[in-house]
Amino acid sequence: MLFNSYEFLLGFLPATVLAVALVRRFGRVPALMVLVSSSFAFYYLWEPDNILLLGASVLFNYMVGNAVFTTRSRALLGFGIAINLLALAHFKYRVFFATTIGLPSAEALVIPLGISFYTFHQISFLVDVYRKNVSPRGFAEYLLYVAFFPQLIAGPIVRFTEVIGQFKDSRAFRIGTTNVAVGMTMFAAGLFKKQVLADTFASIASPVFQIADTSTPLSLVEAWTGVIAYTLQIYFDFSGYSDMALGLARMFGVRLPVNFNSPYKATSIIDFWRRWHISLSRFLRDYLYVALGGNRHGRLRRYVNVSAVMLLGGLWHGASWTFVLWGGLHGVMLMLNHAWRDLGDTRLRIPAWAGWALSMIGVMVAWTLFRADSLHAVLNIWQGMIGMGDRLVLPASYREALGPLSAAAEALGFRWTEGNMVARGFPTGLTFAWLAMGVAICLGLPNTQAWLRRYRPACSLVYGDLDDRSILRWTGLTLAWRPTLAWAVVTMVFLLYGLYNFGNTSEFIYWQF
């Protein structure tokens, strides 16, 4: 069931909170077992056909983890990782691999929900056990670690070391007023981002990408509108999910790691990947990049390793060449960013604003690969973005609306057309207003974790302090959350407005992976 559904919000969630609150009076273990049962029920209600696969995966990895802990066998560790990757490849990549190497097309399988995430969870567990970072203690705790419903479907990718101490604590799983208040505030903020902001930007972006997949050339304005709208859609979609996941966990007294830290404020591609999908970046760094040699064998080898990691990171997102190329493009940008820094010449430093602009252009160009259904659509949009061919066109009906700006448009090379561009969804003044508001929120306001910083919304900050740079700092205003009546009203407004928009409910983007 979706987090943004009546069944979850008015049925599953309150029933689970109430059940945990009632049994917690009898100790930590009963509450733990209720959460384990509820988490498996959550998965079963959505994917009954794959519940046995999830259970088998959990049992297999727990047994292998214990064996690795006892024997310290590198071969056994490799065996465990290989089985996990083979299971992932079987369900997710069999058609892609078969097609790529020219074999007869394999029958496509329905990808089990959350398999990309719970597979990486358990690989990190096996490696950490081998590295002696953690002991595989407590099967019930391990079950909750893998299946905990706030993070089961789309992350964050949690390390066993980050939660086992919380699960074993004698105060664990207490449904306190502060936990519920902080958790519900984060959930409501995330719901608002998803239902109101992300889905609105989706309604702007989707028609553009649909047209791009046809033979109709996109104009410069349409291409940039679609790309900016998708850039905002995926930001608020993933930011909203991250807030909801952390908020749900916090209601039960569990702190998950930060997974999203204002990535569009990044002033370099390196900085971007320290802020976007932080738990995935950390996994790829610690369990793949380091295994490949990291930066221990010279600069050239480091550049190769970075590129390889990003290619595999792109493939992890989806069995499609567009995802592979998306990862490859980010790998090239990261390699160039590292190479520029390695020059070490202070005369080559660029202002922060220029670094931000270059990074955002690169990110938006890459998002086109991430969103488009075909390479044809990608090329159509990219050609529109640079105005290639006869792309500098505007609807004739806009000439009067633009007023004196129409002369400026003509001076820049735009021409007016009587074609039916408005009917196919050419952006309006309201469209541009939504885009401007989305950009202002991304760049001008603190993120949810910074907003709730006083109450430690997450278990770790991973890459240092949370980013709270915002226009509020320049105006002298503050936006620090406290459990007051005023903030309770704001939370209820977010929650009710999100509920009001449930009729337009769509899945989170990262639930596709």
Q: How far apart are CA 488 and CA 291, in angstroms?
A: 47
233's CB contacts (< 8 A; 6+ apart) are 198, 199, 201, 202, 204, 205, 509
405's CB contacts (< 8 A; 6+ apart) are none
What residue has token string 């702190």? Answer: 255
Q: Which residues are catalytic?
A: 317
Q: How far apart are CA 269 and CA 290, in angstroms?
A: 20
469's CB contacts (< 8 A; 6+ apart) are 262, 265, 446
Q: How far apart are CA 422 and CA 394, in angstroms?
A: 9
105, 95 Cβ separation under 8 angstroms:
yes
Per 3-state DSSP, what percentage of the chain is helix, strand, and coil (rounded to 5)? 70, 0, 30
Hey, which bits of 311-401 come out as E strands? 393-395
Burial label, 182 (beta-carbon count in 10 A; 0-12, 13-18, 19+): buried
Q: How far apart are CA 118 and CA 265, in angstroms?
A: 30
Q: How far apart are CA 48 and CA 54, in angstroms?
A: 10
Bond preceding residue 457 cis, omega within 30 of 0: no
311, 331 Cβ separation under 8 angstroms:
yes
CA 116 → CA 233, 332, 415, distances in Å? 22, 24, 48
Helix then strand count (H, E) for the chain reads: 25, 2
Q: Would you state the structure tokens that stand for residue 31, as one six-digit string?
A: 């509450």
* SS3 labels along 85-122: HHHHHHHHCHHHHHHHCCCCCCCCCCCCCCHHHHHHHH
Q: How far apart are CA 239 and CA 259, in angstroms?
A: 8
Bond preceding residue 156 cis, omega within 30 of 0: yes
DSSP H or E run through 252: none
Q: How far apart are CA 129 and CA 320, in angstroms?
A: 33
332's CB contacts (< 8 A; 6+ apart) are 307
Q: How far apart are CA 16 and CA 45, in angstroms?
A: 14
241, 165 Cβ separation under 8 angstroms:
no
Residues in the chain, total: 513
